[in-house]
Structure 1
């Protein structure tokens, strides 16, 4: 836009608008240029101006307070109109400026030197100037330096536009250009309701897997093909603009009354494929999100954020399209805030605590182990259920931090009770992401070694079993834990359809029966037959069988008769804070203490 302007006044006008539009990065660099000009030339004031047909606009300034003037009053117009550097050592001695309002009044310019900002085609768009309230001499060497600095400023502006506003792969305007266009709509006073639609139709993890084997060339072909395919499929009207806002993610900016809605776009793109090259096509799965807004009422970044929120809602929900929802957005904002609070709680060790639920031997009636369960006493929301924050943590890196926190506290308890009569093994819940970490087993063994504790005192309960089965690294990590002597438990057995296959593939010691499997065994014949058969099978395979969610004596009695080994549930004890647990164990194990 800042080049190829010859003979095209419309393009020149758009170039001037681009320079006038808000851009924090560009203007920050321009401010550094004017400060450099003052230091290099020894003149205290400096500024960069852009001139259109009616006004002079000061884009960046150093020790200079004027922000705008009419073109007629601008000293810079002499440099622009003459296409040459203009130097006025003392404005009061120059007949052109004897009664000039900017000289006899604020900002009281007595010295001025300005060099035109000229693109590669010789089109002048503005000036770089130095100025002072006192007269100065200005040498030929200083003039040369001012011209050189002006050329550098123009080179930066051209590079800023070409690199900053076009996606290098697709050639479409990029995210920065979208933000700038939205900002321009706002500052121009445009109140036409607009719609921003984001389009996600490339599975980037899969694309990068292709890149690993085929190189980046085919992936770039895929992106270029999409950039061509979208306009052909959607046939935008004049004024409807396409953008590349991220790798594999596109946007269209249109009016609110346009048929180009998120739902319509998703339907038009259903079933499409894009070309990788060499005759290889990739089927695309499209999700879209949209937001409607008035440019003057919603900041550009917020408009884009809302469209991203709607798109992610569609992706997370597995639906083709979604409109921005204040309620959903507020929920995600609350979730984000909660995760920030959790990060602080973990790093400052405040609010989080462990409850322990006893595991009972069904044959002796005595406690034989504990399950460590994390709890959070939030400073604003009070006691929070793990169901409110653990699933959110599972989507972030915080889950590993939370696992480490729980593990460390469990080891602290085991250390405190070393050689005590109420010492019992503790089980902690661990995700597939932790198992997949190459040194998780080594690190855990090292913690136990430093605490001078046998690894058999710390049990590992598997979360996200299907994720573990599908992840070779997680399976290796699980095997490493078992080889080091940690007991491995499988949670929620009986709740899914493929649990039996886990028994052949996973290194396990304890199988926990899901509460849905044993809830009705005291009253339902079919439930009794199923539970008895499963327990019998697991015992034949030499597993320890633990039933969870036991709430009455009849269920406990039936499980005992079926050969179940252990149980936990409110019938025996709710999860207890550590101090209460110690008292409870001292009472339950009083004959052994």
Structure 2
């Protein structure tokens, strides 16, 4: 009997790589001569043990496998089983002189692509050509199917599941493990859109990929991870209720580090909404909707994360009904302005009033702005609402001016108003066509919201300022203003947020902050107003710190115009004449 030839190989001019399973050197030569005779250029590597076959198969790629049926310690069936277990689609041709027809049929069923008797090797070249062609067709088909799958199920930028595939994976998991609950986390990173506007699409895609990569590190037991919107991601994990807070912090901590964008490092704010999908909850799509609701709540409240509560959704449902009624309210004089004075601390005169919007609802009574304004800002109603407020202020200013006591009126603008190019012209036209001076009006904008939309807002503010209107930054100290921004803004006045004012006599840190803000304002030639003043002790401290003006319940709560006029007469405070130039 011939001895096995370990490691024997014949190398011809390389074109295809052939793994030959054969332990008889004469048969090895027979096969290689048949390949050369028929012009098949191949690199042929011969193995004659199963261990060597497995090693070669795992370490290299092959175009074709040619195998004898029966070798000393194994056979072709064992080799085919290994190929199938590794999910390899390599043409497998059996070349043997010992198998019968029944065995040949069985081995074809096991996955062999063809079998050829050793005395009929003239069939080998055509079989190889056919099987290589068919393998290429299968490869192309798999690539096309994978491309179609990717288009249908994967996000093209990150490779994560898209929204539909994310939900499908949740449904599949829920059906396979109906007794296991899980948590759904929805992460919103709205600052990614700012990256797109400032740095362009390529940088935006890069930043999106960074967020996706960081999320992959968060929870190793994730059931599914997907990108479900332009700047929204979703993650499902088998998290129990007590672990949710820890999981939220883990996710959000991944986004504390800045993202490299070109030559810049970009910090992003992120918001997280969480909903539990408990055992027996049915379709996870409802739980996913709850998580979306929760992340919207987190964004609106400017809180890092929010866990879904059914009671909160019921409240939002009531708000949606209310928003449906707001359009009618704008047309039926239900929107009113209440006025709260701010007082000059140097001479005790009334320097002006802030107009604060109220909704006098026919069924619900007086509705404060915190109830309806945030949702109005997310809808198209914010524009007509702003116009209504300005018209109300104009009407009242006309009444006060005609009575001989013009009063400066301060009006809050929504951040949604400022990017509108028509806003400055619309305001100027409304006021001047009524014969009023722009110097009678002040426009306030909240610091934190303004800093998030700096570029879009700056042009409108500069145009308003150039037209003669005064500009105020409200809630100063709660955002992240930089001195470089303050120098660029057309600001006349800043208002210190009430959170620094209310405990001023008892809190040394608040006193230090307020003292610094007052000094900063004066060095930059800004007036400074303290809001939320409610006690004589606070008022005395503000005077000692050289604050210019104060506003709060120590004087009066916001009042309708006629009640404010009555309060002014009763208080005997002098109304300062506005500077009209």
**TM-score of the two chains, using structure 2 as the length reference:** 0.53
Structure 1 residue 426: Cα displacement: 0.7
Residue 375 of structure 1 corresponds to 358
Q: Which moved more, 1:574-583 or 1:486-495?
A: 486-495
Q: Tell me how far apart the structure 2 counterparts of residues 535 and 243 of structure 1 sit (CA, whole Å).
A: 48
SS in 2 for 1:438: coil
- For 1:136-151, list aligned pairs within 5 A: none
| 1:318 is aligned to 2:304 | yes
| 1:486 is aligned to 2:469 | yes
Identify unmatched segments of 5+ residues in structure 1.
1-157
Kindly tell me: are residues 411 and 189 of structure 1, through their superposed partners in 2, closer, same or farther at Cα, counting changes over 3 Å?
Answer: same
- For 1:180-259, list aligned pairs within 5 A: 192-193=179-180, 195=182, 197=184, 200=187, 204-205=192-193, 208=196, 212-214=200-202, 245-246=228-229
Residue 428 of structure 1 corresponds to 411
Kindly tell me: are residues 502 and 552 of structure 1, through their superposed partners in 2, closer, same or farther at Cα, counting changes over 3 Å?
Answer: farther
SS in 2 for 1:452: coil
Q: Tell me how far apart the structure 2 counterparts of residues 459 and 545 of structure 1 sit (CA, whole Å).
A: 14
| 1:348 is aligned to 2:334 | no
Partner deviation per Cα, 1:471-497 (whole Å, 9 max, x = no partner): 123223222111100012233456678
SS in 2 for 1:373: strand
Structure 1 residue 568: Cα displacement: 3.0
Alignment equivalent of 1:338, drawn from 307, 311, 319: 319
Partner deviation per Cα, 1:6-47 (whole Å, 9 max, x = no partner): xxxxxxxxxxxxxxxxxxxxxxxxxxxxxxxxxxxxxxxxxx
Alignment equivalent of 1:476, drawn from 451, 459, 469: 459
Structure 1 residue 421: Cα displacement: 1.8
Partner deviation per Cα, 1:261-284 (whole Å, 9 max, x = no partner): 9977996998699xx9x9xxx999
The question of whether the paired residues in 1 share the 8 Å contact of 2:275 and 2:287 is answered with: no
Q: Tell me how far apart the structure 1 counterparts of residues 513 and 235 of structure 2 sit (CA, whole Å).
A: 56
Q: Which moved more, 1:438-447 or 1:190-199?
A: 190-199
Q: Tell me how far apart the structure 2 counterparts of residues 514 and 216 of structure 1 sit (CA, whole Å).
A: 34
Kindly tell me: are residues 211 and 430 of structure 1, through their superposed partners in 2, closer, same or farther at Cα, counting changes over 3 Å?
Answer: closer
| 1:405 is aligned to 2:391 | no
The question of whether the paired residues in 1 share the 8 Å contact of 2:248 and 2:272 is answered with: no
SS in 1 for 2:200: helix
Structure 1 residue 392: Cα displacement: 5.6
**TM-score of the two chains, using structure 1 as the length reference:** 0.52
Partner deviation per Cα, 1:495-522 (whole Å, 9 max, x = no partner): 6786866653432223434556666778
The question of whether the paired residues in 2 share the 8 Å contact of 1:463 and 1:491 is answered with: yes
Q: Tell me how far apart the structure 2 counterparts of residues 269 and 520 of structure 1 sit (CA, whole Å).
A: 32
Structure 1 residue 304: Cα displacement: 2.9
Structure 1 residue 372: Cα displacement: 0.4
| 1:291 is aligned to 2:291 | no
The question of whether the paired residues in 2 share the 8 Å contact of 1:511 and 1:546 is answered with: yes
Alignment equivalent of 2:558, drawn from 564, 575, 590: 575
The question of whether the paired residues in 2 share the 8 Å contact of 1:256 and 1:292 is answered with: no
Partner deviation per Cα, 1:204-226 (whole Å, 9 max, x = no partner): 53674599353998799889x97
Q: Tell me how far apart the structure 2 counterparts of residues 536 and 242 of structure 1 sit (CA, whole Å).
A: 50
The question of whether the paired residues in 2 share the 8 Å contact of 1:339 and 1:389 is answered with: no
Q: Tell me how far apart the structure 2 counterparts of residues 204 and 511 of structure 1 sit (CA, whole Å).
A: 30
| 1:508 is aligned to 2:508 | no
Q: Tell me how far apart the structure 2 counterparts of residues 369 and 194 of structure 1 sit (CA, whole Å).
A: 58
Identify unmatched segments of 5+ residues in structure 2.
1-144
Q: RMSD over aligned Cα, in angstroms?
A: 5.8
Q: Tell me how far apart the structure 2 counterparts of residues 513 and 443 of structure 1 sit (CA, whole Å).
A: 29
The structure with the largest alpha-carbon Rg is 2
Kindly tell me: are residues 422 and 587 of structure 1, through their superposed partners in 2, closer, same or farther at Cα, counting changes over 3 Å?
Answer: farther
Q: Tell me how far apart the structure 1 counterparts of residues 522 and 225 of structure 2 sit (CA, whole Å).
A: 63
The question of whether the paired residues in 2 share the 8 Å contact of 1:495 and 1:517 is answered with: no
Q: Tell me how far apart the structure 2 counterparts of residues 524 and 200 of structure 1 sit (CA, whole Å).
A: 36
- For 1:454-473, list aligned pairs within 5 A: 454-464=437-447, 467-468=450-451, 471-473=454-456
Partner deviation per Cα, 1:120-172 (whole Å, 9 max, x = no partner): xxxxxxxxxxxxxxxxxxxxxxxxxxxxxxxxxxxxxx9xx989964574888
Residue 342 of structure 2 corresponds to 359
| 1:303 is aligned to 2:287 | yes
SS in 1 for 2:402: coil
The question of whether the paired residues in 2 share the 8 Å contact of 1:199 and 1:288 is answered with: yes
Q: Tell me how far apart the structure 1 counterparts of residues 547 and 297 of structure 2 sit (CA, whole Å).
A: 44
SS in 1 for 2:567: helix
Kindly tell me: are residues 291 and 441 of structure 1, through their superposed partners in 2, closer, same or farther at Cα, counting changes over 3 Å?
Answer: same
